[in-house]
A and B are shown apart, each in its own frame.
Chain A
Amino acid sequence: MTILRTFRTLFAAGLILFVAGVAMAQDRPRVVAVNYPLQYFAERLLGDAAEVVFPVPADVDPSFWRPSISDVSMIQSADLILLNGAGFAAWVDRVSLPRSKLVNTSDAIEEQFIVTESMTHSHGDGGEHSHEALASYTWLDPTLATSQADAIAAAIVSRGLASQDQVDARLEILREDFQALDTQAATALGALEGTDIIATHPRYQYLARRYDLTIASLEWEAGAMPTDAEIADLQALVDETGARILLWEADPPDAAFEITAALGLKNVVFAPLAHGVEGHSYFESFTDALSEMAEAGVP
Chain B
Amino acid sequence: MNALYLAFAYLRYHWARSLVLTLVAALILFVPVATQILLSTSERALVARGDATPLLLGSRGSQLDLTMAALYFSDERPDPVPMHEVETIWDSGLGIPIPVHTAFSSSGFRIVGTTLDYFDFRDLTASEGRGLSMLGDAVIGADVAETLGKGVGDTLVSSPENLFDLDGVYPLEMPIVGILAPSNSPDDQAIFVDIKTAWVIQGIGHGHEDVVTAAEVAAGSEAVANAAVVQYQRITDENIESFHFHGNQDDFPASAVIVVPNDTRSGTILKGRYLDSENPTQLIEPAGVIQGLVDRIFRIRSLLDVVTTIIAVAALAAIGLAIFLSYRLRAREIATAVKLGARRGMVLRLLSAETITLLSLSGIIAGLGAAIVSRNADAWVSWLLALGS
Residues of A within 8 A of B (CB): 64, 66, 69, 72-73, 76, 90, 93-100, 116-126, 128-131, 158, 202, 217-219
Contacts and interface: CB of A to CB of B under 8 A. Distances in A.
Given A94-B240, A96-B134, A98-B116, A129 B226 contact: no
B316 interface: no
A158 B223 CA distance: 44
Interface stretch (B16-24, B69-77, B214-222): B214-222
Nearest to B237: A66
Interface string B204-235: 01101001101011101111111111010000
A121 B243 contact: no
A124 B240 CA distance: 21
Of A98, A121, A129, A202, the most chain B CB neighbours within 10 A belong to A121
B135 interface: yes
A205 to B, nearest CB: 10
B354 interface: no
A221 to B, nearest CB: 11
B70 to A, nearest CB: 17
Contacts, number: 107
Contacts of B212: 119
A94 B243 contact: yes
Interface of B: 86, 90, 93, 96, 98, 115-117, 120, 130-135, 137, 167, 194, 196, 203, 205-206, 208, 211-212, 214, 216-218, 220-229, 231, 240-241, 243-247
Nearest to B215: A219
Main secondary structure of the interface of B (DSSP, over half): mixed
Contacts of A94: 134-135, 196, 240-241, 243
Nearest to B214: A219
Closest A-B pairs by Cβ, 4 of them: A121-B225, A96-B132, A219-B218, A98-B116
A123 B240 contact: no
A64 B135 CA distance: 16
A222 B171 CA distance: 40
Contacts of B221: 117
16 contacts: A66-B241, A69-B133, A93-B196, A93-B205, A94-B134, A94-B196, A96-B134, A96-B196, A98-B120, A99-B98, A117-B221, A118-B222, A121-B211, A126-B203, A202-B220, A217-B218
Contact of B96 (A100, A123, A202): A100
A123 B130 contact: no
Contacts of B137: 96
Contact of A123 (B134, B216, B231, B245): B231
B117 A121 contact: no
A73 B133 contact: yes
B218 A121 contact: no
Nearest to A73: B133
A158 B93 contact: yes
A29 to B, nearest CB: 17
Given A69-B133, A69-B134, A123-B208, A99 B117 contact: yes
Contacts of B120: 98, 100
Nearest to A121: B225
A120 B224 contact: yes
Contacts of A130: 246
A116 B217 CA distance: 9
B167 A125 contact: yes
Given A72-B133, A218-B218, A121 B224 contact: yes
B229 A96 contact: no
Contacts of A99: 86, 90, 98, 115-117
Given A122-B229, A218-B218, A76 B224 contact: no
Nearest to B97: A99
A119 B220 contact: no
Contacts of A116: 220
A66 B241 CA distance: 8
A72 B131 CA distance: 11
A117 B131 CA distance: 36
Nearest to A75: B133
Nearest to B207: A94
A124 B130 CA distance: 36
A129 B120 CA distance: 36
Contacts of B90: 99
Given A119-B212, A121-B211, 7 more contacts: A69-B134, A94-B196, A98-B117, A99-B86, A119-B216, A122-B229, A217-B220
Of A99, A124, A125, the most chain B CB neighbours within 10 A belong to A99
B248 to A, nearest CB: 10
B167 A124 contact: yes
Contacts of A128: 226
Nearest to B167: A125
Of A90, A98, A158, the most chain B CB neighbours within 10 A belong to A98
A122 B134 contact: no
Contacts of B226: 121-122, 128
